[in-house]
Amino acid sequence: MAIEIATFGMGCFWGAEHTFRKVNGVVSTVVGYMGGSLEDPTYKDVCTGKTGHAEVVQVFYDPEKVSYEQLLEVFWENHDPTTLNRQGPDVGSQYRSVIFYHTPQQREAALKMKNQLERSGRFGRPIVTEIVPAAKFYRAEEYHQKYLDRH
């Protein structure tokens, strides 16, 4: 079984992780930080909004059971991609809507789906989701891992 990885930022990583853990074909998840400038940031650092990191979930999946496109559908359906640096009550660049792609194929799939959604008018406002290359991932503190499963 060849496991692949996908990385998404869609607001607070607790809810994002909880959502992806329920998807058939997802082998495991881990939450953390990506896309910023500070080496080895802590949750406290990222919460300042000054490090440039987004709260993200890394999704390890079996592509024979779930496709990257299906994971993208989960991403689009479970947050508001039209709000800049905000999801619900969480405000700041760390809560931005972002797809970090790991391969050219992921980039192409993400851009294609974003363009289709924009043309469809489904969201009623412009989509502000960033689609950018994956950067160094920093695992969040242990108490954040599987948080909603434990509380």
CATH of residue 42: 3.30.1060.10
- Tell me whether residue 12 is one of the annotated catalytic residues: yes
Q: How many domains does the chain have?
A: 1
Tell me how far the alpha carbon of residue 28 is from its chain's centroid. 14
- The whole-number pLDDT of residue 76 equals 97
Runs of H (alpha helix) within the chain: 13-21, 43-47, 68-77, 104-120, 147-150
Q: Which residue segment(s) compose the domain that 10 sits in?
A: 4-150
- Tens place of pLDDT for every residue, the chain, 151 residues? 799 999 999 999 999 999 999 999 999 999 999 999 999 999 999 999 999 999 999 999 999 999 999 999 999 999 999 999 999 889 999 999 999 999 999 999 999 999 999 999 999 999 999 999 999 999 999 989 998 888 8
Q: What is the DSSP letter of 49?
A: T
Which of 126, 95, 93, 127 is closest to 16 using CA atoms?
Answer: 95
Phi, psi of 147 (to 5 degrees): -55, -50
- The whole-number pLDDT of residue 147 equals 85
- The whole-number pLDDT of residue 45 equals 97
- List the catalytic residue out of 4, 8, 11, 12: 12
- The whole-number pLDDT of residue 149 equals 82
pTM: 0.96
According to the 3-state scheme, what is the secondary structure of 59-89?
EEECCCCCCHHHHHHHHHHCCCCCCCCEECC
